Structure 1
Amino acid sequence: MKFVILFAMVSLAAAQFYVTEDDYVDIDAVIADLPSLQSYSDCFLDRGPCTSLTQSFKDVIPDAVRRACDRCNVPQKQRFGRFLQGLQARLREDYELFRQKYDPMNIYFDALEAELSQFWDYVVPEQRPEA
């Protein structure tokens, strides 16, 4: 009986995080390569096709923005924060369009960026945890 309760608690805790295709994508390499950054942005802004990876991120963005990424794990927070930093620095107009698309009333984005800013410089191990 204790095992069943423990398993249920662990399953519930794990279900609280978003599931994306690759939480360990090298986001700094994406930001450094302008065509790659543009491709991510085009997907998120409905201007271009999405890969399975970018689609997996796009699927959670609306909820992550509204909830200040409270269901993001640490690698997701770090990558999302770095992505927004890079987008703002390299594709300023796309950054503004991203904000407008995912927070048209300008209600959630400041709280999101405040939360993510805590992880911008966080070094996430590049090795994926073993399953």
Structure 2
Amino acid sequence: MRPTWIILIACLTLSAADFYSSKYDDFDVEPLLENDRILMGYTKCFLEQGPCTPDAKDFRKVIPEALETSCGKCTPKQKQLIKQVIRAVMATHPEAWAELEDKYDPDKKYRENFDKFIAQKD
């Protein structure tokens, strides 16, 4: 391989590493939004109060960093999906949302910026 190709491949790899995997960009959030039992199942997983699906386990791993950076490594599609789900939890289960905030941001360091992120239009 020529050195220029190696540099190009390295740059593309670094660029892709700036975002979370696009594996879940096509995740169907409608079942969560339409079925309170499923939404609360994910919420309980995130709070470590119930079992987790494999997808929920993956999501739970990135919650701390996504909160700290206001989803800085999220793709545009991931940002849209996350906002939809969080808005649903906030609207239908404010007590669960408060628990999530307390679990993942006990010192309230990131709430203001994250709230601004959630309030942004898609």
TM > 0.5: yes
Q: What's the counterpart of residue 87 of structure 2?
A: 85
Q: Which runs of 5+ in 1 are unaligned?
A: 123-131
* CA–CA separation in structure 2 for the residues paired with 1:77 and 1:27: 12
* Shift in CA distance, 81/117, structure 1 to aligned 2, threshold 3 Å: same
Cα pair 1:78 1:116 within 8 Å, conserved: no
Supply the AA of the counterpart residue of 1:81: K
1:65 aligns with: 67
CA–CA separation in structure 2 for the residues paired with 1:101 and 1:74: 26
Say whether residues 1:94 and 2:96 are aligned partners.
yes
Q: Whose radius of gyration is greater, 1 or 2?
A: 2
| Deviation of the 1:118 alpha carbon | 2.8
1:74 to partner: Cα distance: 1.0
Equivalence for 2:32: 30
* Greater helix share, structure number: 2
Unaligned runs of 5+ in 2: none
Matched with 1:48 is 50
Q: Distance in 2 between the 1:76 and 1:116 partners?
A: 12
- Contact 2:24–2:78 (8 Å) recurs in 1: no
Calculate percent identity across the aligned residue pairs.
31
SS at match of 2:89: helix
Give how far 1:29 is off: 2.8
For 1:89, what is the secondary structure of its paired residue? helix
Structure 1 residue matching 2:24: 3-state secondary structure: coil
Q: Which residue of 2 aligns with 1:129?
A: none
Deviation at 1:21, TM superposition (A): 4.7
Cα shift at 1:75: 1.6
For the aligned residue pairs, the C-alpha RMSD in angstroms reads: 1.5
Residues 32-59 of structure 1, C-alpha deviations (whole Å, 9 max, x = no match): 2000101010100000011110111000
Q: CA deviation at 1:26?
A: 2.0
Residues 44, 50 of structure 2: 8 Å contact kept = yes
CA distance in 1, matches of 2:57, 2:104: 15
Q: Deviations over 1:62-101 (max 9, x none)?
A: 1110111111111211111111100011111101101111
Equivalent pairs, count: 120
- Matched to 1:90, the amino acid is T
State whether residues 41 and 94 of structure 1, in contact with CA within 8 Å, keep that contact through their aligned partners in structure 2.
Answer: yes
